[in-house]
Amino acid sequence: MAIITLTADQIAKMVKAQEIIYAAHNEIWNECHLNVLDNDCLSSLTLSKIVQTYDPSYTVNFGRNGVDAVANSGVIENKTIRLDGFTRDGVFVEANRKPNGEYPNCRKNHKYRGQFQFHAEGDLNYPRYIFGVLRKDTLEPLRIYDIRRPKNVNFVQEYLHTKRQVWLVKGKKKHDVIAIEETVLHANIKFTTSIVDGCEVLRS
């Protein structure tokens, strides 16, 4: 078991940061009655900052009622994942790829190794999907997939429904998770790519 200790100066810095964070949290709570430190809230705000640069109508729904966001295009389903494929010095592994093609400290040796999860028996059909990949240690957005063209939306829906049928035959009821993989998106959908605040935005 690893024991992690900090110096007195480091602990003092953390206490000071905690005071600042709590003050900001309480201010938002008193005004909006939302926990800005909640994981879903943080992910939604991260997506919103990027998406609103090219779709000003995009609005996060904080109601926790099954609708993640809305825009002029209609209801939007958001999914985010956090990847830990970074070296100890915080450099993304793509820049430190080994000569044999492997990535250090990665569960899977592929840049596009993310999977966006859905409940197998939940709603799968939406008119627009936004999938976000965040860096696990800093929550920095790495990639956003914005899928709204009908033929590509249909592909996502058909793929998920196929996964559901497989789950119904082989799946475990206590683990009702299916997913669509980044590699599947890249192999089947043609994206227009741009960079927004350092984040790769793939739109279709």
Read off the tokens for 39: 């994981």
Place of tokens 């005071």: 19
171-197: pLDDT as tens digits: 667 788 999 999 999 999 999 999 999
pTM for the full predicted model = 0.82
Task: Tell whether the model's pLDDT for residue 31 goes beyond 60.
Answer: yes
- Does residue 104 or residue 132 have the better pLDDT? 132
Query: From CA 29, how far away is CA 23, in angstroms rounded?
Result: 10
- Model pLDDT for residues 55-89, shown as the tens digit of each residue: 999 999 988 788 999 999 899 999 999 987 654 44
Place of tokens 């602990």: 11
Pairwise CA distance, residues 133 & 112, whole Å? 9
| CA gyration radius, the chain | 19
